Every structure is written in structure tokens, then in C-alpha cells.
Structure 1
């Protein structure tokens, strides 16, 4: 971290970021397009679900009282007087000593308060022999059993899952008010960068970060807007940054350290407010953050691993919050046993990529790499990472640690 006047602690950097972001405004969308979106208001059902009493099994609608005492040795005989079909309202009525045949989901006839399963009957001409005693309500799905009219079925701040889309369909809630998805501009800086598939000349490298960061944005619900590769020149940087500010968030990849061509933080300071430059994080230390025209701007390292680590630590939480979710939304953590020691230095948070597997009903974690900001395979081989706090000089072999899964 040589060259930084000061370094902001990771936890303080995250606090600064979260203090400057808030949920975006809301928009109305069709329910079938709302998967993964976050509700901006409660959803209240206007109807009972199911909207009528219906059979929960294939069988016969009966009066429960007509079956009291029935068994295989002492069956009760009932006369079958009709049938009820699914999707068709029935006008039939069950009277004493009668039964109506019906299938699962068919509306219950008037007078019936239970359904005897087909398996518990024997057909005897126009009659059935009931082989089991029933109580009122047996095998009946009552009106409003699932949802009552006026009930809150989904809450503000809830991210919609497939089952939630199904609920919206069941209550015919055709449009939902959701928080807008953040539009995130991604700027890759560096005269040496070339698009994937380009034949490289000496000194040139393939652009990685625009694509990995775009995928990262999409993975947490944002809308990625990758812009053209930008040279390490102030005029070009100023022009593309001003264009990028049409979005809700700006990510600048490269030019965030303290070298001659690292101009991104200076550009943020010139056009707005630079809140920090340099974080106690490895990899990802050369990270900066500021506000330009009310928009959060993150300056990330050019090395792919450092860029993605800083994204996970600082950018992803901000994108969650802008959608109305907690900053640690979607974080899956497991407790594992280290297979070998991890060395670290005081004063910074080390992000150690690890491989996780199960052995003898125990989860084990093998450290892959701590250093190597440009070794992308250390992430593709990993299942997650562990954080070594600033005040700890590593972890010993056999220690139980918490792994955050990718």
C-alpha cells in the first residue's frame, strides 16, 4: 500500500459507502416480470384463496354424520346421486344417505361437509360402501384456507421468488410496485486494454474487468452498462465519467492506485467529493470512493482479483441497499475447518480464497491464495473466501473459520 497518505479501515469504508446510498425510487411492473425485484409496498389480497370450498382428494362428497362408525367390517352404504367437475360450479346437493362423486379441486356440493377418498370406498352398483369414518371438514380445502381477503401476503422489502410470483397470480395482483434496479456504468481504463478475441501485440492485455464487473452487477440485481475502453488521459476520463453519470452508480476499473497514470481518484475529487482513497484490504487496497453530482463513484483496481474483491466488499452491499435490501443480502456462510495455516499481517483485512469440501460429515476449507491480485484462477478454483481481521496475524491449521460462499 506504499504511496497512500492514509488508508481507511474496511469497516469504516463500508460505513461511508452505505451512508451515501439509499433505496431508489419505485416503479410499477407486471407481476410475471417481477422475479428478483424488491417490493416497495405491501401486497394485500382482495380475495379468498381458494375462493370456494373444494375437494382435496379424489373421492365422494358426503355428510360426515352419514359415515360415523363406518369401518371395513361395518361399512356405511350411500347412494351416488351425481358428480361434480373441476372448473364447473355445481348445483347439486347432498342429502342424508347420499354421495356425489368428485375429483381433486372440484367445488363441494351443498349439504356435503367431508370427502371420503376413493381408496376408502367400494362401488356397489349405484351405491358406495364407505369403509372409514369421517369428521366434518375431512379432505376439504376450505374457502380462504390459504389466504383471506384483506390479508397481507407479501411485505415491502421482500425480494420476489418463484413462489411469490405464483401467489401474485393466485390473487390476480397483476402489477406490483417495486424498487428500481440500479443502473451501473462500468468504465475500464488503460491504453493497453483490448477486447476479448483481439490479436494482442506486445504489451497489450485482454480486458477482463468490464465483463466480470458487469456479471457481478447483474448477479446482485443491478443493470450493467459497460462503456467503451478509456485511455489513461484526463480529458478522455473526464468525458466518459460525465457520460457515465447518467446512470445511478459508476464503477471505474483501473487508474485507482498512486502511479503516474492513476488519475481516477483525482478526477472524482475534481468533479465531486472524494471520501476515501486506499482501504485496509488485500487484495483490493487501491480502492477509492466518492460522490459526483449525487452519484456514487467507485474506483477499483485494474487487477481482476483486486477489482472483484473490492466489488464484493463495498459495491455489492451498496447495490443491495439501493434496491431496498439489507447490505449483506444473499451472503451464504458456512463454518469449516482449515486444512492448513493462513499467514497474515496486522493492520489490514486479508481475503483468503478457499476450496470447500465435505469429508467424514465435516466441512473442510483449503486456502488457495492470499496474494496475487492478478491471479484470477485463485477465484475460479475457489468456492468462497475467509476474512482475516486487521487485528489477527493469520489462522492456525485446524481452526474453525467462517467461509462466505461465492
Structure 2
């Protein structure tokens, strides 16, 4: 077992470098229905086996004509054509158009043989089985040719694309019903602490509701992972050892909140030291909030597993999730890390920060004549810190003061 660090804190950049160097997820594939493919990452190039459209069709409601028949048509001097039929979308005309004839046609309907243009209905005047054409047409006008949208044999979607609604529409147009995608990581979630109970249970003195399982579960879904909540663990060494050993290899990432510091009842470091064949990454990061985070990796054959143990305080857990765990989920899915939107804002008050630690200071935004930001001063244990936050400032390790009125970059949560 190679132990990188044990409660010898590393910088955020050092942690990210270790993860980049050591973590090597093996891509996993699955075949799914197109109806389940939204926000999945496609694992193959999609080549169209058909032309779209597969037939020459009308771009407009109007009349299919031979363009040469309309060359002399003018607003005040229309030409007259005999209407020999009608075509609705989804049907076709069995006959062939001859000189002096027209067929009424709907948008999207196949153009009849012999026709080479469509006169928009706005430029026509129907009179029983005849139609007056008030505007000349040119060959190909208002006609959509075969393969204009998608040509047979062309690549319509490239491997590695994150599929959106528009992509699925394209796939439906070329009759793709199933496709191969990169599987999302399976992530197991535990919360730890004798004080925790699940929502729906009666709250008694000394107990609090488990927040982290909900926020982490939704954060995993937001990042494209597949979460499973495994329950709340009591602060019991043997119980923790048992459930960790039972679940570590069942999931791509095992995520546990609580049990990271050196306080009473926090047994995680003891258990991790006992795990065989484990690359022990970190116990302690120079970050605020989230210093006592533990990250470890397990090599299994040609696969890789992650054990991530986050602080129990809600803001700490979510900060570490966004900075370190979410990028791992994106990496597993063969995607680059998510880029969050930022805005410039003027600080309403001075902010102090601890030298040597990278701080992610939560802020609220105020939209006045210009955007202003004010730091939230409740602690990482506070529930309302999360609820009242619009985003955060990244304060680097060598910065201790941000002055009132200073313009700063705010990373937005939404």
C-alpha cells in the first residue's frame, strides 16, 4: 500500500494533480433506448443510413407546377393552370404532371413527377378545377431535395457528445432507436453520526436531520452520476469497517459524509489504513471549508475505485463535492469538468481570509446599479449558508484581505 499523505495537508492544486496522476477510470459502455439518452455521453459515431428527407418535398403549402409554365405570370396578368389533384403530407400523387397542369400540395408532401417548383398559396387564386398563378416561379423554388438535411453515409453525431434534446431529434429522424453511451458512475452515499436521523422520523433532543445525503444525492444527479443512498452509519468502528468493506467494490465511487476529523467517534482514518491494495491519497487539504477531507483510490484489476470521505458540515461537504468529486464524475463520463458561469461584482464589505488556505467564501449578490456581493458570515455548519448563497469567491492561498469596493469574480451556482 502506497500512502501519499496522512493528515499532512496538501494544497488544492496538489490534490488535483494527485487525482489527475492516479485516477484512471476504465470507460464503461451500455446500450440504451433513445428515450433514456438525454444528457448521456454517446460512445460511438452515428452514421446515417438514410437520406433526410428521403424524397423531394414541398417547403410550402401551394401548388406544384412546371416552372416554365409560370414564367409569364404577373400580379395583374395571372396564368391559368388546370388542377389535376391534391397531395397531403404523408401521401403521394400517382400521376405525372404535364404542361399546363398543377397539383395542390401541402407542406412536407412529396412533389409529383414532372413538377419542379412550388407556387406559394398566397400567390394563387383557386377557381374550381383551375388555379390562377399571380407570380412566376423558378425551377427548384420552394422545393426541398433528397438528402438536403442529412445525406446517407454522413456522420451526424460524434463520439463523446453530451446528448441534448436537439441531438435526440436528429437521431429520431434517421431511425436510431438504441445507441451506445458511456455508463454513468455508480455512486454509493453514506452519512455518518450518532446524531443523525432520516427525514420523516421524529426529532428528539440531541438529534438532527441528515442534510448531506440529500444535497450530495442531487449533486451527483446534476453531474450525471447514478447515486444510491445506503443509509446512516452510527459512530461504531466495527460497523463502519463492515459496511465500507462490503460496499467499496460495489460502486465506482463510495461517498461518505462525516468521520474525517480527529475528534471522538471519527474512525475513518483507522479503517482506511487497514484496507489492502489502496492508494491512500489525502487526509487533509488546505481549503476552507473542507480541510479534513479524505480521498483514496483502490486499484481493482484494470479498473479504479474512489473512496471519498467528506466533512459532516453541509457547506464543507458541498464545497468539496463541487471542487473535487463532481470533476471525477465528469471524467468518468469522458467529459471535461463543468464550467460554471461567473460575474464581476463589487464587494460591499472587506473580507478577511486565512493565509495559506484556499477559501471558497459564500456570497449573496445584490443587483443595484451594478452587481454587488456580500460575504455570508454563518459557518459551514449552518443550513442557511447553503440556502442564502448565490455563489462564491475563490480566495487564493496568498491573499488575506479583499477590500471593500474591490471588484471580484463570483462563481455562480446556477
Which TM-score tier does this pair reach, normalised by the shorter chain? over 0.9
Q: Could you list the per-position Cα deviations for residues 86-105 of structure 1 after superposition, in whole angstroms to 9, with x for gaps in the alignment?
A: 21232232222221101111
Q: Which residue of 2 aligns with 1:285?
A: 291
Q: Could you list the per-position Cα deviations for residues 182-201 of structure 1 after superposition, in whole angstroms to 9, with x for gaps in the alignment?
A: 11011111112111232333
Calculate the aligned-residue CA RMSD, in Å: 2.0
Change in 2 beyond 3 A, CA 1:194/1:83:
same
Q: Which residue of 1 aligns with 2:3?
A: none
The partner residue of 1:337 within 314, 330, 345 is 345
Q: Which residue of 1 aligns with 2:411?
A: 403
- SS of 1:81's equivalent in the other structure is strand
- SS of 1:229's equivalent in the other structure is strand
Q: Does 1:56 align with 2:62?
A: no
Q: Does 1:372 align with 2:376?
A: no
Change in 2 beyond 3 A, CA 1:342/1:94:
farther
| TM-score normalised over the length of structure 1 | 0.92
How many residues are paired up? 399
Shift of 1:373: 1.0
Shift of 1:250: 0.5
Shift of 1:370: 5.7
> Where do 5+ consecutive residues of structure 2 fail to align?
1-5
Shift of 1:358: 4.4
Q: Could you list the per-position Cα deviations for residues 19-62 of structure 1 after superposition, in whole angstroms to 9, with x for gaps in the alignment?
A: 40435310111111111111111111100111111111111111
After TM superposition, list the pairs within 5 Å mapping 1:184-333 onto structure 2. Answer: 184-245=187-248, 246-271=250-275, 272-292=278-298, 293=300, 294-326=304-336, 328-329=337-338, 331-333=339-341
- SS of 1:66's equivalent in the other structure is helix
Change in 2 beyond 3 A, CA 1:385/1:135:
farther
CA distance in 1, matches of 2:141, 2:351: 61
> Where do 5+ consecutive residues of structure 1 fail to align?
none
CA distance in 1, matches of 2:26, 2:159: 12
Change in 2 beyond 3 A, CA 1:255/1:28:
same
**Deviant stretches of 4+, over 4 Å:** 357-360
Q: Is the 2:378–2:385 Cα contact (8 Å) retained in structure 1?
A: no
Q: Which residue of 2 aligns with 1:13?
A: 15
Q: Is the 1:256–1:265 Cα contact (8 Å) retained in structure 2?
A: yes
Shift of 1:359: 4.4
Q: Could you list the per-position Cα deviations for residues 336-395 of structure 1 after superposition, in whole angstroms to 9, with x for gaps in the alignment?
A: 2224243323322211223345445x5x24234266111221221222223122233343
After TM superposition, list the pairs within 5 Å mapping 1:9-48 onto structure 2. Answer: 9-19=11-21, 20-22=23-25, 24-48=27-51
Shift of 1:156: 1.0
- SS of 1:240's equivalent in the other structure is helix
Q: Could you list the per-position Cα deviations for residues 280-326 of structure 1 after superposition, in whole angstroms to 9, with x for gaps in the alignment?
A: 21111211100135411111000011001100000011011111111
CA distance in 2, matches of 1:339, 1:348: 21
Q: Does 1:168 align with 2:165?
A: no
The partner residue of 2:398 within 376, 391, 403 is 391
Q: Is the 1:265–1:274 Cα contact (8 Å) retained in structure 2?
A: no
| TM-score normalised over the length of structure 2 | 0.91
Q: Is the 2:7–2:282 Cα contact (8 Å) retained in structure 1?
A: no
CA distance in 1, matches of 2:168, 2:311: 39
Q: Which residue of 1 aligns with 2:107?
A: 104
CA distance in 2, matches of 1:386, 1:23: 34
Q: Is the 1:23–1:321 Cα contact (8 Å) retained in structure 2?
A: no
